[in-house]
Structure 1
Amino acid sequence: MIIYKTEEDIELIRQSALILSKAHGEIARLIKPGVSTLQLDKLAEEFIHDNGGKPSFKNYNGFPYSLCISVNSVVVHGMPSNYTLNEGDVISVDCGVYKNGFHSDCAYTHAVGEVSPEVSKLLEVTKESLYLGLEKAVVGNRLGDVSYTIQDHAESNGFTIVRELVGHGIGRNLHESPEVPNYGKRGQGVKLQDGLVIAVEPMVNLGTRHIVQEDDGWTIRTKDNKPSAHFEHTVVVRKDKAEILTTFDYIEQAKKS
């Protein structure tokens, strides 16, 4: 069942999303060679708590950390560890914040120092596919219009879409209906209505679209061990233009400083 949000609900999600977006900015400042992914997790957890929120992921179905940190060929759900970042790595940081009874969810893939041109293009195209998909998240369209647009942009640039993992509705629960695939057909799926809040999150691979799950029960890796990228926003379907509740502005500011 899809739960449409009231304007009051959306305002509360917006407050959660602001803390989340600022947390991403704090994390971005720390991403450089020599920093461990556990350090990033600790920073995020402290920042979220200090700002009146709770990390949505911590203890979610037993997940022990505040961040999913996915490096290089890890697509999603990577666990923070003592691994230290190296020049040329790509690192996806996925985070959620719970505040005022509502969740928000956002992910960003960073290049650590200089990366190869093909990996740089992978990140660029994945991010573009997110925003192009969000242009279709308007009243009267169907979910398949969002999904198709993401898939078309990624595949027309020579990359592949992960199909087993999808975006989702979000609100009082971290994962709600509907599922939001990153592939599909135009004109199909749920008809989009005002007040639908969804987390849209393209996961795009450099090589094969196929994935494997590691023995820890969480980490999802590309089958061919080639890099993957992941970007995500929490958005509200609106009449003429989707309202994006999370923002990458704090990340972009941190990268410039």
Structure 2
Amino acid sequence: MIELKSAEEIARMAVTGQFVGELLAELRGVAAVGVNLMDIEHHARRRIKERGAESCYWDYAPSFGRGPFRNVLCLSVNDAVLHGLPHDYVLRDGDLLSIDMAASIDGWAADSALSVIVGSPDPADLKLIEATEVALAAGIAAVQPGGRLGDVSAAIGKVAHSYGYSVNAEFGGHGIGRTMHEAPHVSNDGRPGRGIKLEPGLTIAIEPWLCASTDKIRYDKDGWTIRSADGSRTAHSEHTVAVMADGHQVLTRRPTHSTTSADPNHEARHGE
């Protein structure tokens, strides 16, 4: 069942979203050559505790995982794209790191992700990250009252294909609110004009993710980490968004900074 949120409830989600956005921006600065993934994880744990928030990841045990998940971040490096299990790994020059986090404050959740290159960037990696950011911005722009969920999916897929990437439809975005994962599923490809109607009060996490040269995935033995099947680089971008009467609101907006000019922080303004 899809629960539409009131303006007051969306405002409460925005409080969580601000925290998530600010912490992700902070973690992007923490990620550097020579830093251990577990140092990033423990930094996030401290910040979440200091804020009085709760991680939506801790003890999460879906059917596909070898759970429960006992971390507050998903940290995915290079060919890992989703659900990367933080572990003892020291970041190297040129690594592509995706950071995904979801937290809850006073019972309201928000979810967001970004990808960053540590040290010297490879142009192909920059293009891959840019594609996810442009796709995210396009998906957000399609969030308009009276539209259809397929408009969002189609906008994401159109950008991905225009960059020359294929799209995996096994994992995508999702509804969010009182819990991290709610209905509906938000595919990263689709047809405009299809799917549920976008009504004010609907809150969704939009999260395009791409592999450089495949749409197939494989799982690590840890049961969580999802990688490109061919070992190619991957990237992931995500924001939590609310449908408003006059457009949309990005609830996890981060302090302005971007690896590309396509950062949805710039593109996805309220009501656009």
Please indicate the TM-score interval, normalised by the length of the shorter structure.
Answer: over 0.9
Q: CA deviation at 1:250?
A: 5.8
Aligned residues of 1:22 and 1:250 also touching (Cα < 8 A): no
Tell me if 1:7 matches 2:7: yes
Of all paired residues, the percent bearing the same amino acid is: 37
Distance 1:228 1:236, change over 3 A: same
1:100-139 equivalence runs, <5 A:
100-139=106-145
TM, length-normalised to structure 2:
0.90
Q: Where in structure 1 are there 5+ consecutive unaligned residues?
A: none
What corresponds to 1:21 in structure 2?
A: 21
Q: Which residue of 2 aligns with 1:249?
A: 255
Flag as ranges the 4+ runs of structure 1 deviating above 4 A: 250-253
What's 1:203 paired with? 209
User: Given the alignment of the two structures, is residue 96 of structure 1 paired with residue 102 of structure 2, yes or no?
Assistant: yes
Partners of 2:145 and 2:200 within 8 A in 1: yes
**Aligned partner of 1:173 among 156, 169, 179:** 179
Pair 1:147 & 2:148 matched: no
Q: Match of 1:245, as an amino acid?
A: L
CA displacement at 1:25 relative to structure 2: 2.1
- Report SS of the residue matched to 1:187: coil
Q: CA deviation at 1:251?
A: 5.5
Aligned-partner Cα distance in 2 for 1:100–1:252 = 30
Are the counterparts in 2 of residues 127 and 231 from structure 1 also a CA contact under 8 Å?
yes
Question: How far apart in 2 are the matches of 1:114 and 1:247?
Answer: 26
Partner of 2:64: none
AA aligned opposite 1:113: G
Q: Does structure 2 retain, via aligned residues, the 8 Å contact 1:56–1:98?
A: yes
Equivalenced residue count is 253
CA distance in 2, matches of 1:162, 1:45: 31
Q: Check the 8 A contact 1:192/1:237 in 2, yes or no.
A: yes
Q: Does 1:158 align with 2:164?
A: yes
> Aligned-residue CA RMSD in angstroms?
1.3
User: 1:5 is paired with a residue of what secondary structure?
Assistant: coil
**CA distance in structure 2 between the partners assigned to 1:70 and 1:151 by the alignment:** 22
- Paired residues for 1:168-247 under 5 Å: 168-247=174-253
Please tell me whether the aligned partners of residues 28 and 251 of structure 1 are also in contact (alpha carbons under 8 angstroms): no
Q: 1:143, 1:180 within 8 Å by CA — same for their partners in 2?
A: yes
Distance in 1 between the 2:258 and 2:211 partners?
Answer: 23
- Code of the residue aligned with 1:244 in structure 2: it is V
State how far apart, in whole Å, the 1-side matches of 2:226 and 2:197 are: 31
Equivalent in the alignment of 1:38: 38
